[in-house]
Chains A and B, each alone.
Chain A
């Protein structure tokens, strides 16, 4: 009797505590991202904006380190059955995520289940195409997409007697310009970030050449690299030759070379359009942005460049009510005003047509014509089989192979042809491994 009484008291006590909570029950939505520094602040701002726009859900952004660390953390969390709701995965991890269909939920499906309005056509095709499956289903939300562009130091151009309003359009011009810049006292002509992404992957798309068979992996796991073709040999040979004259200087992996542009050592620099915010903050000279140069003896007009950056994946294994919140949040992120602001402050591409139109009509591009370059370069023509992007499993490791071989070639340890052949040979092995694992999956 006594026990029962105590039990009732205790239960009531918990009820009293829990009541006010359940009245305002907010559901937390975990968003794991890889945006540090200024971008990280912007991400928090986005989450706060959403949280104050409604009271039912609370998006909790968690910085998980760089792209690879974030992806590894997400996967580890999935394996221990505690995945976040939303995981930001860099473009390189896309094929891995796509192959893991049981671990993720396609955003088209999440939106439909939640009854949120969603029109895949609203997204810019050359961006969303990257994250769309073979049967046309949009799998993840292209949150931060960028594409490589040429940055150039206007002050240096003036010093070398070049017109700051006329950046080089072709690689032939880059060579001429670089020589003039060096003659005017600069140590180097140009350098580059992300050498694999910009000088191999994008160079193929930009000249409408295949990087690999099966539409660069979009049409199947049995894709094989083709990068040791004419264009690859030509471009890499030129880089090597230029390096000996300091027309080109290798700045290191990833975007380690950015300091070469900021400290005015190399007045021209190829880097992601998202490098804009960093350069804007750090460079104390005027710089311009121009389209990625192309070889005018290979194509008359270039195709389109391909994207980098990351997309947001919805992870499987959560409650339906929480997915409703996820859908609402993703819609919020895609809304024109938010996207336009994100685009203008970071240099990432606006992902929807409405956001692009909004930026245009606000007169932003009139004042900042450079900021339109990246998007124009992405959307100038319908993407071809060769320019939709790359979809490879084991892509992180394939990039390592590419970095190693390019460094070997640039250091003069092996010939261009040998280096490219090694990329194809070792890269194909990694592709076969991925195919082997995923074949067993599709059989089941």
Chain B
């Protein structure tokens, strides 16, 4: 007996696909197309007047030193967030994996931050680091260090990176821990018997076997750093000071929804779409080759 199920009707498969396709069309393809269209227009906020300007919105952006700065800052910010959230969570996962007593408590505490909404997390950090009333700023002052992230670009960037990393560690931790637990004990034990130390075991066995997880997390973390850190930036620094934390996605929101400059905002989101597209393709083409499933 043939166990394969075949659809008899020709339209049923399409019908079953339809809901997902419809969602993709309405929520992804359509907005993307209208962004593309809008990026070539200049429009007044009320939408009563729009003029076709070709690629002028793009020219204006690349002429603008603030936009070039934002590109640079996005690159720095994303790299820092990805690097630290991945390494720290891997470290935590390795430590949690070895714990025998009270493992649940540790794990719960490490996963906890993930349940906090980005905006709430932002407010939390905002109060901790407030230059006038924040407990952390007070502590810094006590140590003789002048903390004022309203003016100091480095401090502001540090603050949003810390907040961004803190928020993402839990997610990465979960995946790393699951990945670690999937590595057969026998492999590690065999290596240990052969005389490989902890560090060597990590580099030659654990890390290669974790590579599918790591690769997945790199992709997710880049997307996170590019897009989901928005709430933290909005709450903590609002892109300032002097544009030091003005990452691309925040600038799209800020110029479009606060500045009401829809054409420029649309052009920026088109560029952002292209950048993330290229990054993802690069990762799948070049990095994935190193991944052993």
Taken together as a complex, chains A and B put the C-alpha atoms of A407 and B44 apart, in Å, by 29
Contact status A250-B150, CB under 8 Å:
yes
Contact status B260-A96, CB under 8 Å:
yes
Given the interface contacts A99-B44, A100-B48, does A426 sit within 8 Å of B150 by beta carbon? Answer: no
Picked from A102, A410, A433, the residue with its CB within 8 Å of the CB of B42 is A433
Contact status B242-A411, CB under 8 Å:
yes
Given the interface contacts A400-B259, A411-B241, does A259 sit within 8 Å of B130 by beta carbon? Answer: yes
Stretch at the interface among A47-55, A71-79, A116-124, A268-276: A71-79
Given the interface contacts A394-B259, A396-B260, does A78 sit within 8 Å of B46 by beta carbon? Answer: yes
Residues of B near any A CB (own CB < 8 A): 42-51, 53, 60, 63-66, 130-133, 148, 150-153, 238, 240-243, 254-255, 257-261, 264
Give chain B nearest CB distance to A371 CB in angstroms: 27
A277 within 8 Å of B (CB atoms): no
Contact status B257-A256, CB under 8 Å:
no
Across the interface, which residues of A come within 8 angstroms of B261, CB to CB?
394, 397, 430, 433
Across the interface, which residues of A come within 8 angstroms of B60, CB to CB?
429, 433
Give chain B nearest CB distance to A190 CB in angstroms: 14
Across the interface, which residues of B come within 8 angstroms of A426, CB to CB?
64-66
Stretch at the interface among A322-330, A377-385, A435-443: A435-443
Give chain A nearest CB distance to B137 CB in angstroms: 11
Taken together as a complex, chains A and B put the C-alpha atoms of A71 and B257 apart, in Å, by 10
A interface: dominant SS: helix
Q: Supply 20 A–B pairs (Cβ within 8 Å), ascending by A.
A: A72-B257, A100-B46, A100-B48, A102-B48, A250-B150, A252-B131, A253-B238, A259-B132, A260-B132, A394-B259, A394-B260, A403-B241, A404-B243, A407-B151, A407-B241, A426-B66, A429-B64, A433-B264, A437-B44, A441-B44
Taken together as a complex, chains A and B put the C-alpha atoms of A407 and B152 apart, in Å, by 8
Taken together as a complex, chains A and B put the C-alpha atoms of A437 and B43 apart, in Å, by 7
Taken together as a complex, chains A and B put the C-alpha atoms of A433 and B51 apart, in Å, by 11
Across the interface, which residues of B come within 8 angstroms of A429, CB to CB?
60, 63-64
Taken together as a complex, chains A and B put the C-alpha atoms of A433 and B66 apart, in Å, by 16
Give chain B nearest CB distance to A96 CB in angstroms: 6
Contact status A411-B49, CB under 8 Å:
no
Contact status A259-B133, CB under 8 Å:
yes
Contact status A100-B241, CB under 8 Å:
no
Contact status A413-B242, CB under 8 Å:
yes
Give chain B nearest CB distance to A423 CB in angstroms: 12
On chain A, the number of residues with a Cβ less than 8 Å from chain B's Cβ atoms is 44
Q: Other than the known A396-B258, A441-B48, what 5 A-B pairs have Cβ atoms closer than 8 Å? A: A100-B45, A407-B241, A413-B242, A426-B66, A433-B264
Given the interface contacts A252-B150, A407-B241, A411-B151, does A401 sit within 8 Å of B66 by beta carbon? Answer: yes
Taken together as a complex, chains A and B put the C-alpha atoms of A78 and B50 apart, in Å, by 16
Bits for A78-120, please: 1 = Cβ < 8 Å to B, else 0: 1100000000000000001001101100000000000000000
Contact status B42-A253, CB under 8 Å:
no
Q: Which of A96, A103, A401, A404 has the most CB of B within 10 A?
A: A404
Give chain A nearest CB distance to B175 CB in angstroms: 36
Taken together as a complex, chains A and B put the C-alpha atoms of A263 and B259 apart, in Å, by 33
Across the interface, which residues of A come within 8 angstroms of B46, CB to CB?
75, 78-79, 100, 102-103
Give chain B nearest CB distance to A386 CB in angstroms: 26
Residue of B at shortest CB range from A263?
B132
Taken together as a complex, chains A and B put the C-alpha atoms of A250 and B66 apart, in Å, by 22
Across the interface, which residues of A come within 8 angstroms of B240, CB to CB?
253, 403-404, 407
A164 within 8 Å of B (CB atoms): no
Give chain A nearest CB distance to B272 CB in angstroms: 18
Across the interface, which residues of B come within 8 angstroms of A436, CB to CB?
42, 51, 53
Across the interface, which residues of A come within 8 angstroms of B243, CB to CB?
404
Contact status A410-B64, CB under 8 Å:
no
Residue of B at shortest CB range from A398?
B259
Contact status B258-A437, CB under 8 Å:
no
Across the interface, which residues of A come within 8 angstroms of B132, CB to CB?
251, 257, 259-260, 263, 265
A408 within 8 Å of B (CB atoms): yes
A68 within 8 Å of B (CB atoms): yes
A291 within 8 Å of B (CB atoms): no
A405 within 8 Å of B (CB atoms): yes
Across the interface, which residues of A come within 8 angstroms of B254, CB to CB?
400
Give chain B nearest CB distance to A243 CB in angstroms: 9
Across the interface, which residues of B come within 8 angstroms of A71, CB to CB?
260
Across the interface, which residues of B come within 8 angstroms of A260, CB to CB?
132
Across the interface, which residues of B come within 8 angstroms of A411, CB to CB?
151-153, 241-242
Taken together as a complex, chains A and B put the C-alpha atoms of A426 and B243 apart, in Å, by 14
Residue of B at shortest CB range from A101?
B48
Contact status B242-A103, CB under 8 Å:
no
Contact status B45-A75, CB under 8 Å:
yes
Taken together as a complex, chains A and B put the C-alpha atoms of A96 and B261 apart, in Å, by 11
Taken together as a complex, chains A and B put the C-alpha atoms of A436 and B240 apart, in Å, by 29
Contact status A72-B150, CB under 8 Å:
no
Give chain B nearest CB distance to A432 CB in angstroms: 10
10 nearest CB pairs, A to B: A252-B150, A407-B241, A407-B242, A397-B259, A408-B242, A259-B132, A100-B46, A441-B49, A103-B46, A68-B258
Contact status B44-A100, CB under 8 Å:
yes
Contact status B151-A437, CB under 8 Å:
no
Give chain B nearest CB distance to A430 CB in angstroms: 8
Give chain B nearest CB distance to A367 CB in angstroms: 32
Taken together as a complex, chains A and B put the C-alpha atoms of A17 and B45 apart, in Å, by 42
Taken together as a complex, chains A and B put the C-alpha atoms of A370 and B284 apart, in Å, by 67
Taken together as a complex, chains A and B put the C-alpha atoms of A377 and B258 apart, in Å, by 31
Picked from A103, A257, A400, the residue with its CB within 8 Å of the CB of B48 is A103
Picked from A96, A422, A440, the residue with its CB within 8 Å of the CB of B49 is A440
Taken together as a complex, chains A and B put the C-alpha atoms of A414 and B81 apart, in Å, by 28
Taken together as a complex, chains A and B put the C-alpha atoms of A234 and B43 apart, in Å, by 38
Give chain B nearest CB distance to A407 CB in angstroms: 4
Residue of B at shortest CB range from A413?
B242
Give chain A nearest CB distance to B243 CB in angstroms: 5
Taken together as a complex, chains A and B put the C-alpha atoms of A429 and B240 apart, in Å, by 21
Taken together as a complex, chains A and B put the C-alpha atoms of A131 and B63 apart, in Å, by 34
Give chain B nearest CB distance to A262 CB in angstroms: 9
Taken together as a complex, chains A and B put the C-alpha atoms of A253 and B254 apart, in Å, by 15
Across the interface, which residues of B come within 8 angstroms of A422, CB to CB?
65
Taken together as a complex, chains A and B put the C-alpha atoms of A438 and B45 apart, in Å, by 11
Taken together as a complex, chains A and B put the C-alpha atoms of A193 and B150 apart, in Å, by 12
Taken together as a complex, chains A and B put the C-alpha atoms of A72 and B150 apart, in Å, by 26
Give chain B nearest CB distance to A13 CB in angstroms: 40
Across the interface, which residues of B come within 8 angstroms of A259, CB to CB?
130, 132-133
Give chain B nearest CB distance to A415 CB in angstroms: 14
Taken together as a complex, chains A and B put the C-alpha atoms of A401 and B241 apart, in Å, by 11
Taken together as a complex, chains A and B put the C-alpha atoms of A11 and B198 apart, in Å, by 84
Across the interface, which residues of B come within 8 angstroms of A103, CB to CB?
46, 48
Taken together as a complex, chains A and B put the C-alpha atoms of A252 and B66 apart, in Å, by 19
